[in-house]
Amino acid sequence: MNTINNIPNPPLAGVHHTARPTWKLRETIEFYRDKLGLPLVHAISARGWPEGHPDFLHFFFDSGQGSTIAFFYYIGTERPDYLEPRPSHFYSATHTAWRVDSAQALDVWRQRLEALGVPMKPQIRHEVIESLYLMDPNGYMLEISYQMRPFTEVDARDALLTLEAGMALEDQMKASGTMGAFESIDSVWRAKGSVIEKEFLNIEGVTP
């Protein structure tokens, strides 16, 4: 019988493309190709298929290391209300973050985008990355990041402990039908802290 562990699971080789719809053909091409300087590397124009699908243009810009960002322009359609940009964290959570290899490169990008008048949010230094945030003509959020150190096994194990605490709280929330303890991040921190404390008790004999 197939189980999750014995079904072949070949590694992925990176991003080929992410894709979004656009209703601004010229502005999108001028933004990505000219302002960001990403080469236009491929486009397909096609009769819509299967039946009912609008005719479309589908085009790709090179974003480095074999990755591309792609757009669909659906001919004869208008952007539906539910795809209008919204000033919401939920909306901007969907974004693409590109990598640069140095803090200097990030500075140069910021200077370029400022010089070209591209709308940006304040630069943010996160835990392991520093990021520029910019908005494309469609209202899509983009990010350019410099990662200050590589992820390690310590990060991976920490991520698992954080998310195991989160999933347990989500399970409790679903089972009880109420928010319960999962109303703030404090519950995650406490649940995770209890797990790590047990490890310290076992290894170091810490007296609580």
Partner 1 sequence: MSAVIFVLDVDEFRPLVMAARDMPSVEVSGPSQGYFRISSDQELEFHRKTLGFKPALWYGALTGGLLGKITEFSRDTLRIEAT
Interface ranges with partner 1 (CB under 8 A): 124-128, 148-149, 152-155, 157-158, 161-162, 165, 185-186, 189-197, 199-200, 203-204, 206, 208
Place of tokens 């347990």: 168
Closest approach of partner 1 to the CB of residue 165, in Å: 8
Contact 160/151 with Cβ under 8 angstroms?
no
In whole angstroms, the minimum distance from the beta carbon of 134 to partner 1 comes to 18
Which residue lies nearer to partner 1 by CB, 16 or 190?
190
By three-state DSSP, how is residue 84 classified?
coil
Closest by CA to 69, choosing from 112, 36, 101, is: 36
Report how far residue 131's alpha carbon sits from residue 103's, in angstroms, rounded to the nearest whole number: 10
CB nearer to partner 1: pick between 103 and 116: 103
Strand partners, 130: 125, 146
CB of 71 to partner 1, least distance (A): 30
The two structure tokens encoding residue 153: 């096994």
* Minimum distance from residue 124 beta carbon to partner 1 (Å): 5
Q: What pairing do the DSSP bridges indicate for beta strands 40-46 and 17-22?
A: unpaired
- CB of 59 or CB of 146, closer to partner 1: 146
Q: Cβ closer to partner 1: 63 or 192?
A: 192
